[in-house]
Structure 1
Amino acid sequence: MMNSEQPRGPASDHLAAATDGEEAATSLLGSNRELAILYTIAGQLNRKVDVREALQEVLSQVTRLLGLKTGWVWLLDEEGEPFLAASLSLPPYLADHPDRMTGRCLCLDTFLGGNLASAANINVLRCSRLRNAEREGDPSSWGLRFHASVPIHVGEMPLGVLNVASEDWRELHSSELQLLHIIGDQIGLAIQRARLSAEHTRAAARLAAIEERNRLAREIHDTLAQGLAAIALQLETADALLLSQPERAQAAIRRALALARSNLEEARRSVMDLRAAPLQDHSLPDALALLVKRLRAESGTRLEFRYEPSPAPGPGRFPALSPHHEAGLYRIAQEALNNALRHAAAEQITLTLAVRDKMIVLQVQDDGRGFDPERARDYTREGHFGLAGMSERARLLGAQISIESLPGAGTSISVYLPYQG
């Protein structure tokens, strides 16, 4: 009996080696092509901010690189209902009748039923939306009957379905379906990233709105509330002197009117988010000096302002700060001085502004009755927002605030603001 297996000679060995080499080269080229496709798709998804625009680019790349013609993407809305997020070269039967691209279909039902959840379950499905066109022989359907459906997930969360098709449909190879599945995962990550970014933007907007409301509340407190308190003090003085000393009463009324006009203008500036009025034409040290001078004249209390510029060689000018930081420090000083005048029964109040080692120090000290800092929250609940407002302002400025006080031993409020310069 002869052995049917013929011995291989040198020529056969060379032929086998060449065949193996061609197969390896083909496999390598295929792998490189797939990597190029994934690289291109990833680039499109990363570059585009708008999800729909990105999906449109992905459809264009996928259909071109796989030799297909048509594609569309379904996404699920917040209620879990599908909507058409992107489409490319739909046949007129569908493109000219948008109602035919709404609602459920076979691929969506398969996806939502959990039967299109992984690479192994990706299938070539007959398009139920084209069933009538196929039955009627409608040429506007371009003869499309089948498409490949690719699930889009992020983790266990279903997001939608990617469909691709062509007139001369051929069932896609398993490697192509696997490639589409990876692209589906890339789309899922991009959609999740876009949604998280949108949520972050909405959260930032909500936070900004809250901070703006707080800012307006502080501005109202720092302008209208304090201004009204000063006006009320002048009117009380006028009322007490009206019969015995009418001239002094009239002077108090004129001061009240001047304060009303001044605070009305300052309130307008605050609401318009401009700098504090005293800072319009003055540096911060000058504005604080004027503030102390005015409060000293109005209250009769001994108020002193001390300015300690940087000891470093130079012209001695105050460091250049943003209007936001200058206005914030001015408001804190204004609030601390008004608190001392209204509540501390102090005989001496000192406001110090110092520049020390890349640090601006603002300090208000008084020798008044003092208080227990541990009860600061109680004061807020009782409607006194001065301490809370100063602390909030310091935080927004990026500064540290220290409030030291003891009953009967006065109060010291210090703010430390780092600066570059």
Structure 2
Amino acid sequence: MQREKYEKNSHLRVLKEIAELLNEGTDISLLLSDVLKKLLQVTGATTGWIFLIGPDGRYNVASAENLPPALSKDHCEPLRRGSCWCIKGFRNGSLTKASNIIECRRLEKAAKLNKDETEGISFHATIPLTSADEVFGLLNVAAPGKKEFGRDELALLESIALQIGSAIKRVRLTKKAQEVALIEERNRLARDLHDSVNQLLFSLTLTARGGVEMTEDLETKHTFQHIQELAQEALTEMRALIWQLRPSGLEKGLIQAIKGYGEMLGLHVHTKLSGLLALPSLVEEALWRISQEALNNSKRHSGQVDVYVSIKVSKCKVHLTISDHGCGFIYEKEKELPSFGIESMRERVEALNGHFELRSELGEGTQIDVALPY
């Protein structure tokens, strides 16, 4: 009786420590890393890894601690590639509670190659990360020589996994709410600019045009013409800014938004789409902003009105290519990027673990290639 009471109090203490840690987290990657370290500290497990699994069944290793060489080599390649019973059970819905995995395909394969690389780990427990009716991935824990986790241990791990699932849901909902708030703020700012500055510039354009027609003095006429040209240029820039804040065509799809923005700039955008374009909002937002900057650069510097945009969607990556046949410029890869706008494009791509490449030759045009995972 005394032992049961001690174990119950111990489990409550563990859950309390994990809950406090999870409540502080705002970044899923850091949150999972911290909670996995804490979990290994307060339980009998020594090794752990977490799979996050998307609705399409694709998974990634979101966090890993104290892995044996059999699983950690080549940046966790044995975990990142292939399938196993855990992943299959998650995908087909048969894995719904904490379970002992007595035949781990990944560990068995590693042991056949070199048993020492498993460091005595041949079994592990796997626990779904859930919150209400949503599932996010799997928590896996192991220890050298441990062939089975007891009922109480599995119950504790299941409670921890439930806490982790709830934290993941909280962070994702918070992030989504922030994205919605940002969109609403952009829309508000776009409306304000349209109703105030945009209208004033339009009025200035009409006033300058009237001045040109009313005066006979050539010098005064030229002054009004210059004012009209500047006002028209500022009006075009303002409309581009409003479009960037609130792209009126994005709800109809990325391709239509890019074409519409190009037309607004006076460009003829030739588009090509390969594959089904159904992307996460962050990826679509990145492609949209990169396209805007590329079209702006083409308008300002290429000397051409034709721009070519290609989007190719594969199983786990989307490729964007934007090119023109304009004047181009001298660009050497080992040197810094030629403008802040191009640098911001690269930073946006790298923030999403993508690949960015710029190619340009004097008199041959410019091409930007982007590849983003999703």
Residues 22-421 of structure 1: pairs in structure 2 closer than 5 A: 23-24=1-2, 26-97=3-74, 98-101=76-79, 102-118=81-97, 122-136=99-113, 138-238=115-215, 242=216, 253=221, 256=224
Shift of 1:58: 1.5
Residue identity in the other structure for 1:187? I
Structure 1: 5+ residue stretches without partners: 1-22, 243-248, 274-421
Judge conservation of contact 2:57–2:91 (CA < 8 Å) in 1. Answer: no
* Partner SS, residue 126 of structure 1: coil
Question: 1:100 is matched by which residue type in structure 2?
Answer: P
Shift of 1:62: 1.6
Map Cα deviations across residues 231-276 of structure 1 (whole Å, 9 max, x no partner): 23333433xxx5xxxxxx67975884796599689979989x9xxx
After superposition, the Cα gap between the structure-2 partners of 1:226 and 1:170, relative to the gap in structure 1 and judged at 3 Å, is same
Gaps of 5+ in 2: 242-374
Equivalent pair of 1:71/1:89 in contact (CA under 8 Å): yes
The amino acid of 1:114's aligned partner reads G
Provide the secondary structure at the position in 2 that maps to 1:79: coil
Task: Give the Cα separation in 1 of the matches to 2:219 and 2:71.
Answer: 84
User: In 1, distance between residues paired with 2:213 and 2:143?
Assistant: 88
Q: Which amino acid aligns with 1:128?
A: R
Take 2:223 and 2:237, find their aligned partners in 1: how far apart are those partners? 21
What is the aligned partner in structure 1 of residue 371 from structure 2? none
Distance 1:234 1:262, change over 3 A: same
Inter-partner Cα distance in structure 2 for 1:251 and 1:142: 88
User: Quick one: structure 1 residues 262 and 62, their matched pair in 2 at CA, closer, same or farther if it must change by over 3 Å?
Assistant: closer
Structure 1 letter corresponding to 2:175: A
Deviation for aligned residue 1:148: 0.8
SS at structure 1 position matched to 2:164 = helix
TM-fit CA distance, 1:99: 2.5
Structure 1: how far apart are the matches of 2:112 and 2:222? Answer: 93
Q: What does the per-residue CA deviation read over 1:371-408, in whole Å, with 9 as the maximum and x for residues that have no partner?
A: xxxxxxxxxxxxxxxxxxxxxxxxxxxxxxxxxxxxxx
Larger radius of gyration: 1
Closer, same or farther in 2 for the Cα pair 1:124/1:224, shift >3 Å? same
> CA separation in 1, counterparts of 2:147 and 2:107?
17
* Distance across 2 between alignment mates of 1:42 and 1:162: 16
- Cα deviation digits, residues 15-36 of structure 1 (max 9, x gap): xxxxxxxx23x32222221111
Mapped to 2, the partners of 1:260 and 1:46 lie a distance apart of 58
Which sits farther off after the overlay, 259-268 or 96-105?
259-268
**Structure 1 residues 251, 44: closer, same or farther in 2, change over 3 A?**
same
Conserved 8 A contact 1:223-1:263: no
Pair 153,263 (structure 1): closer, same or farther in 2 beyond 3 Å: same
Q: Name the structure 2 match of 1:384.
A: none
Residue in 2 aligned with 1:382? none
Q: 2:67 is matched by which residue type in structure 1?
A: L
Q: Cα–Cα, structure 1 residues 80 and 205, in superposed 2: closer, same or farther, change >3 Å?
A: farther
What is the letter of the counterpart of residue 81 of structure 1?
R
Q: Which residue identity lines up with residue 5 of structure 2 in the other structure?
A: L
Tell me which residue corresponds to 1:19. Answer: none
- What residue identity is the alignment partner of 2:53? L
Contact 1:134 1:143 in 2 (8 A): no
What fraction of aligned residue pairs are identical, expressed as a percent? Answer: 26
**Separation in 2, partners of 1:232, 1:79:** 58
Question: Is 2:209–2:228's contact at 8 Å kept on the other side of the alignment?
Answer: no
In structure 2, distance between residues paired with 1:109 and 1:266: 58
Q: What TM-score, normalized by structure 2, do the two folds share?
A: 0.56
Distance apart, 1:152 and its partner CA: 1.0
1:107·1:125 contact (CA, 8 Å) conserved in 2? no
Cα distance in 1 between the residues matched to 2:83 and 2:131: 22
Aligned to 1:123, the other structure's residue is in SS state: strand
For 2:171 and 2:188, the matched residues in 1 are separated by 25
State which drifts further: 209-218 or 143-152: 209-218
Do 1:219 and 1:267's aligned partners in 2 also have CA atoms closer than 8 Å?
no
Q: TM-score, normalised by structure 1?
A: 0.50
Residue 94 of structure 1: how far off its partner (Å): 1.3
Q: Secondary structure at the match of 1:96?
A: helix
Deviations 1:73-102 (A, max 9, x none): 111135321111100011011111432112
Q: Size of the alignment, in residue pairs? A: 239
Tell me the amino acid that sits aligned with residue 51 of structure 1: I
SS of equivalent residue, structure 2 residue 52: strand
SS of the residue 2:48 aligns to: strand
- CA RMSD for the aligned pairs? 3.3
Contact 1:82/1:103 (8 A) holds in 2: no
